[in-house]
Chain A
Amino acid sequence: METETEGVDLVEGRVVRQFARAALLAALMGATAIVAIPIAGIPGTLQPLIVFLAGIYLGPYWGATSMGLYLAAGIAGAPVFAGWAAGPGVVVGPTGGFLVTFPVAAFLIGYAIHRGGDLRDPAELSPLYLGGVLLVATAVLYAVGVSWYAWVVGIELGEAALAVAAPLIPGDLVKIVVAVAIARSGRIDTV
């Protein structure tokens, strides 16, 4: 049947729903950059957890879109980066490698869990597989994050790892456990 659009090309309902979730998850990511929640006494934000959840609940494409929106909003001046920071320079700053890898990590997680196409219920996956996927994605985050820092400051990889990665590793391992627990809770529906 001919659909009358009067020259207006509406965004499809299914796309709007995923897009709204992606945008608001990006806002949640920005909110957690400020609200620090210490886990097991280790200070740090919940940001890596939100990257995991983006892949788990939005899938590869919308998960990566969500993290891309987070970056774009920060570049545009919304105070969403760690410590209320904002601006285009932050992306090439000391943590720039981590930041630009967020969309990649969300994509990898989403792809490993959902394989493109329709989203699956993450509660049905084995916790071991889920944990393994998140561990690999975290390793990718660290690899790029540490390499960038080493290059931009001009030091060796080992030294860079000591400077920016070592303090974060224990907290991020706990966040993997938390993400698996959230996924297994079965309380969040995918679209």
Chain B
Amino acid sequence: MIEFRNVTHRFGDVTAIAGLSLTLGDGEFVVLAGANGSGKTTLLGHCNGLLVPDEGRVLVDGHDVADEPVAVRRRVGMVFQHPRDQFVAATVGEDVAFGPANLGHPREEIDRRVERALAAVGMGSRTEEAIEALSGGEQSRVAIAGALAMEPTHLVLDEPFAGLDEPARRSVLARLEELSASGTAILVATHDLRDVLKLADRVVGMSEGAVVLDRAPADGLGDLDGIGVRVPGC
């Protein structure tokens, strides 16, 4: 469970999020919607302690992100925009092993995790391949595997569909659906709500650093238009 308790974060004079409270439950699939500059990325940064609040607290299963970065990062896997800039090795297997190796797991456990994480994103047999030679969609999936290898309970993704063509989008979406079904809580920040709404338990709308909407997609989302998010079918 990730809890935001009255969180404020500023960059210099700019307040990116202001007095925000939000709870993300175990196993939930939540879509975070909002225009560019609405504070989405700042919110995500707090989920595993890459950013810490100026005021308020963020807790992951009771661990404060400001004090216990390791406990938090074990539980919350992050996948950023621009997958090409988050790989740390030239081949698939070596890259995915980075997280579990940092956690100090023995070699056999690392190999097991790499295998499982890659299988979960449909890249099981491709550990030896060069990342640079993969397609955009495959790179996105390897980036997700890099986070999964730490065996988190939450997976947080920032604009995972940006720059992907339709088949790649669908393949990433299908993997997220499977992960969600197997119990991983997922938080996806996006301004592109096509298809992902079908998977979502909740949609959280952000504008100017605050949560302005929080409900199940079935309850209607027509007012998302007002905060600069295109809603399919509206």
| A–B proximity contact (CB within 8 A) | yes
User: Residues of A at under 8 Å CB distance from B?
Assistant: 1-8, 10
Top 9 A-B pairs, shortest CB-CB distance: A4-B68, A8-B70, A6-B70, A5-B70, A4-B71, A3-B67, A1-B67, A6-B71, A8-B103
Of the candidates B63, B69, B103, the one having the most CB atoms from chain A within 10 angstroms of its own CB is B69
Residues of B52-66 contacting chain A, CB below 8 A: 63
CB distance from A19 to the nearest CB of B (A): 11
Q: Given the complex, which residues of A lie within 8 Å of B71, measured CB to CB? A: 4, 6
At the interface, yes or no: B104 with Cβ under 8 Å from chain A?
yes
CB distance from B64 to the nearest CB of A (A): 9
- Find out whether the CB atom of B67 lies under 8 angstroms from the CB atom of A8: no
Q: Given the complex, which residues of A lie within 8 Å of B74, measured CB to CB? A: 6
CB distance from B67 to the nearest CB of A (A): 6
Place the interface of chain B in its size category: 10 to 19
At the interface, yes or no: B125 with Cβ under 8 Å from chain A?
no
Partner of A4, one of B67, B103, B104: B67
Q: Given the complex, which residues of A lie within 8 Å of B67, measured CB to CB? A: 1-4
Q: Given the complex, which residues of B lie within 8 Å of A6, measured CB to CB? A: 70-71, 74
Q: Quick one: CB contact mask for B70-88 with A, threshold 8 Å, 1 for yes?
A: 1100100000000000000
At the interface, yes or no: B182 with Cβ under 8 Å from chain A?
no
Q: How far is the CA of A10 from the CA of B99 in the complex (A)?
A: 12
The chain B residue sitting closest to A78, CB to CB, is B90
Of the candidates A1, A6, A7, the one having the most CB atoms from chain B within 10 angstroms of its own CB is A6
Q: How far is the CA of A55 from the CA of B104 in the complex (A)?
A: 34
Q: Given the complex, which residues of A lie within 8 Å of B102, measured CB to CB? A: 8
Q: How far is the CA of A1 from the CA of B67 in the complex (A)?
A: 8
CB distance from A116 to the nearest CB of B (A): 27
The chain A residue sitting closest to B66, CB to CB, is A1
Q: Given the complex, which residues of A lie within 8 Å of B103, measured CB to CB? A: 8
Q: How far is the CA of A2 from the CA of B69 in the complex (A)?
A: 12
Q: Given the complex, which residues of B lie within 8 Å of A7, measured CB to CB? A: 104
Q: How far is the CA of A4 from the CA of B70 in the complex (A)?
A: 7
Q: Given the complex, which residues of B lie within 8 Å of A10, measured CB to CB? A: 69-70
Of the candidates A1, A4, A5, the one having the most CB atoms from chain B within 10 angstroms of its own CB is A4
Q: Given the complex, which residues of B lie within 8 Å of A4, measured CB to CB? A: 63, 67-68, 70-71
CB distance from A57 to the nearest CB of B (A): 19
Of the candidates B70, B74, B103, the one having the most CB atoms from chain A within 10 angstroms of its own CB is B70
Q: Given the complex, which residues of A lie within 8 Å of B70, measured CB to CB? A: 4-6, 8, 10
Q: How far is the CA of A40 from the CA of B67 in the complex (A)?
A: 55
CB distance from B23 to the nearest CB of A (A): 22
Q: Given the complex, which residues of B lie within 8 Å of A5, measured CB to CB? A: 69-70
CB distance from A11 to the nearest CB of B (A): 9
The chain A residue sitting closest to B72, CB to CB, is A4
User: Other CB < 8 Å A-B pairs besides A4-B67, A6-B70, 9 of them?
Assistant: A1-B67, A2-B67, A3-B69, A4-B68, A4-B71, A6-B71, A6-B74, A7-B104, A8-B102
Q: How far is the CA of A123 from the CA of B104 in the complex (A)?
A: 43
CB distance from A96 to the nearest CB of B (A): 26
CB distance from A78 to the nearest CB of B (A): 9
Partner of B104, one of A1, A3, A8: A8
Of the candidates A1, A5, A7, A8, the one having the most CB atoms from chain B within 10 angstroms of its own CB is A8
The chain A residue sitting closest to B103, CB to CB, is A8
Q: How far is the CA of A4 from the CA of B104 in the complex (A)?
A: 15
Q: How far is the CA of A10 from the CA of B102 in the complex (A)?
A: 9
Q: Given the complex, which residues of B lie within 8 Å of A2, measured CB to CB? A: 67
CB distance from A165 to the nearest CB of B (A): 35
CB distance from A191 to the nearest CB of B (A): 16
CB distance from B80 to the nearest CB of A (A): 13
CB distance from A152 to the nearest CB of B (A): 32
The chain B residue sitting closest to A2, CB to CB, is B67
Q: How far is the CA of A77 from the CA of B67 in the complex (A)?
A: 41
Q: How far is the CA of A4 from the CA of B68 in the complex (A)?
A: 5
